[in-house]
Amino acid sequence: MRTLKGIRILLLLISIPCAALAQEFRQPVLISSAGQSADVKLVQLLASRETLDAVTKPVATAEDLADAKTLLIVPGFSSKGLGAAGISQEQEMDRVKSLVEAARNKQIPIVLVHVGGNARRKGQSDAFNELVGKNSSHMIVVSQGDEDHFFSAIAKESGIPLDLVENIAAAATPLGALFQ
């Protein structure tokens, strides 16, 4: 009888961290870009497919976090996207830093979703990738974008859970699982 009671207590203690982790990511969700690539639209579609209560604002600011419980940031530099938004790379970096800082101050978890593969790596993209990655609570990355272990190294160094997926469509599963 004691053994059975001990097992029940142990199972209860084991389930507490899992329940806390599952509750960490809540809705509504704000989806924004870091670098203004079109990848943010793909993540919007994935969130819709997973029936998340999500709003997409590619140029979101701290004020847009008012109702958000989770912030999804899609990093990837696009000069065409910056031009369409009418902002410079420096302005975009300042905006993203401010958004990340505001989310952290409000204790809103950040999820990096990198679906751009090699096209959104190195060069001007990696400053955005690193900023968002190091401030994330979770990362979902298409494996082609991590061939050099860039995201894996950030995850390992910072103790951030990382889901590597084979393609963009496969990112929907871990994304949806975060909110269950």
Nearest one of 65, 23, 52 to 113, comparing CA atoms? 52
Structural domain includes residue 173: yes
Strand 162-165: give its sheet, edge to edge: 54-56, 29-34, 70-75, 110-114, 138-142, 162-165
The total domain count for the chain is 1
* Residue with token string 């207590």: 9
- State which residues form the domain around 30: 24-177
Q: In Å, how far are 21, 95, 107 from 99, measured between CA atoms?
A: 23, 6, 12
Q: 56 lies in a domain?
A: yes
The whole-angstrom separation of Cα 52 and Cα 44 is: 9
What is the spatial distance between Cα 145 and Cα 171, in angstroms, rounded to a whole number? Answer: 13
Q: What is the pLDDT of residues 140-161, one digit of tens each?
A: 999 999 999 999 999 999 999 9
* pLDDT single digits (tens) 90-137: 999 999 999 999 999 999 999 999 999 877 888 899 999 999 999 999
Is the residue at 14 inside a domain? no
pLDDT single digits (tens) 35-78: 999 999 999 999 999 999 999 999 999 999 999 999 999 999 99
Amino acid at 44: Q
Q: Report if residue 163 sits inside a domain.
A: yes
The sign of the dihedral angle between the CA atoms of 153, 156, 161, 164 is positive
Residue 72 lies in a domain: yes
pTM: 0.86
pLDDT value for 15: 37
Residue with the larger pLDDT of the pair 20 and 156: 156
What letter does residue 67 receive in the DSSP assignment? T
Has residue 1 been placed in a domain? no
The CATH number of whichever domain residue 161 belongs to comes to: 3.40.50
- Domain annotation covers residue 6: no
Report DSSP letters for 131-172, one per residue. HHHHT-SEEEEEGGGGTT-HHHHHHHHHT--EEEESSTGGGH
- Asked whether residue 8 is assigned to any structural domain, the reply reads no
